[in-house]
A and B are shown apart, each in its own frame.
Chain A
Amino acid sequence: MSPNVNRVRVIALYKELHRLGRDYPDASYDFNGRMRRMFERNRHLTDPEDVEKAFKLGEYIKNETLALYSLRKYRALKRMYPEEGA
């Protein structure tokens, strides 16, 4: 697999995670800082299996963060607009 393909994938994943990280509810958690350090730690990976594993971890974090945001929003809205008494 040409290194270019992976480069495009990595940049796309980074941009997506960065945009997600801006909305992280806990300001003291530095989502984007940690995320960047994780990317930097993996920059020298060459073995395709390791590269795929790193991608999977990135996608996993993306999905978990999205689920966190969804759940948080859902719970907040449910509290703000409770179901009428049954």
Chain B
Amino acid sequence: MRPSAVRLLNILVPIKRTIDYAVKIRVNPNQTGVDTNVKHSMNPFDEIAVEEAIRLREKLKDEIKSIKVVTIGPPKAADTLRTALAMGADSGIHIEVPESAPAPEPLGVAKALKAIIEREEEKGGVDLVIMGKQAIDDDAGQTGQMLAGVMGWAQATFASKLVVDTGKKEASVTREIDGGLEEVRCKLPVVVTTDLRLNEPRYASLPNIMKAKKKPIEKISASDLGIDLTPIFETIQVTEPPKRTGGQKVGSVDELVAKLKEAGITAVKS
């Protein structure tokens, strides 16, 4: 008896090169942004996304046909793609922008990803997009939702668990929401954004990094896709949060009450 036709899935994982999580951020002298002459690495939420794609393949084996990673960034962003390839992705797409270009905005990224997905149609299409829920540099948290919107696809954001049924072409996603967890079931294709608690990403060992050098990275420009990444927003000013003033120690309850009165805080009438 023939097994039921199993759909082979193509997974796309968009990733972003951001300032490393451990770097102490400094506002630049012009107050137009932050000092970017520091260590960069893959957005931690995107590392989780890459890891999830690889774990899906470890679970579903041949049912996952391809895991492609894509990034929009300057030439150095290729290093981030190489890290993803070293973790286990098959191939990469680098939408290269000039070093001096302003960072693309979520809507621009979503449109560029849409163009990539449409390009992939002739190669079998994309069934599942897994991406970080937000980037640690802008904390926008919009790209995944916008991508689902422009594609007209299902979306399951803040995923803390992902189960894919290739036979039924469905994904069951457990979402982290205020007050608890929510489970949603979506028909493929679907955009899933990863929460911190989805998994713990693997370390890309040196042998794997060497192997990844042979994996292909396709380089294209935004104009090749017919996309304009010019920002719609203008950043007026970037400032540091106000410095914390030191706390004060008081000697007695009376002193505390006196200081509170000084600060303009009065007792509530009982």
Segment touching A, from B175-183, B232-240, B244-252 = B175-183
Task: Look across to chain A and name the residue whose beta carbon is closest to the beta carbon of B209.
Answer: A19
CB-based contact A25/B22 at 8 Å: yes
Chain A residues in 8 Å Cβ range of B207: 12
Q: Is B151 an interface residue (CB 8 A)?
A: no
| Complex alpha-carbon distance, A53 and B207, angstroms | 23
CB-based contact B22/A12 at 8 Å: no
| Complex alpha-carbon distance, A66 and B21, angstroms | 16
Q: Is A77 an interface residue (CB 8 A)?
A: yes
B: which residues have CB within 8 A of A? 21-22, 44, 136, 176-180, 196-197, 200, 203, 205-207
A: which residues have CB within 8 A of B? 12, 15-16, 19, 25, 66, 69-70, 72-74, 76-78, 80-81, 83-86
| Complex alpha-carbon distance, A83 and B180, angstroms | 10
Given contacts A74-B200, A84-B176, A86-B179, contact A15 B206 (CB under 8 A): yes
**Least Cβ distance of A20 to chain B in Å?**
9
CB-based contact A76/B22 at 8 Å: yes
Other than the given A16-B205, A78-B196, A84-B179, 20 more pairs (CB < 8 A) read A12-B206, A12-B207, A15-B206, A16-B206, A19-B206, A25-B22, A70-B200, A70-B203, A73-B22, A73-B44, A74-B200, A76-B22, A77-B44, A80-B136, A81-B196, A83-B176, A83-B197, A84-B178, A86-B179, A86-B180
18 contacts between A and B (CB under 8 A): A12-B206, A12-B207, A16-B206, A19-B206, A25-B22, A66-B203, A69-B203, A73-B21, A73-B44, A74-B200, A76-B22, A77-B44, A78-B196, A81-B196, A83-B176, A84-B177, A85-B178, A86-B179
| Complex alpha-carbon distance, A78 and B48, angstroms | 14
CB-based contact B21/A76 at 8 Å: yes
**Least Cβ distance of A74 to chain B in Å?**
7
| Complex alpha-carbon distance, A19 and B205, angstroms | 10
| Complex alpha-carbon distance, A35 and B89, angstroms | 32
**Least Cβ distance of A67 to chain B in Å?**
10
Task: Look across to chain B and name the residue whose beta carbon is closest to the beta carbon of A25.
Answer: B22
| Complex alpha-carbon distance, A12 and B209, angstroms | 13
**Least Cβ distance of B72 to chain A in Å?**
23
CB-based contact A80/B178 at 8 Å: no
| Complex alpha-carbon distance, A84 and B180, angstroms | 9
Chain A residues in 8 Å Cβ range of B178: 84-85
Task: Look across to chain A and name the residue whose beta carbon is closest to the beta carbon of B158.
Answer: A84
Chain B residues in 8 Å Cβ range of A25: 22
Chain B CB within 10 Å, residue with most, of A12, A19, A84: A84
| Complex alpha-carbon distance, A11 and B37, angstroms | 32
| Complex alpha-carbon distance, A58 and B44, angstroms | 28
CB-based contact B21/A80 at 8 Å: yes
**Least Cβ distance of A16 to chain B in Å?**
5
**Least Cβ distance of A2 to chain B in Å?**
21
| Complex alpha-carbon distance, A23 and B47, angstroms | 17
Give 10 nearest A-B pairs by CB, closest first.
Answer: A84-B178, A16-B206, A66-B203, A77-B44, A81-B196, A77-B196, A76-B21, A15-B206, A19-B206, A77-B21
| Complex alpha-carbon distance, A70 and B201, angstroms | 9
| Complex alpha-carbon distance, A76 and B24, angstroms | 12
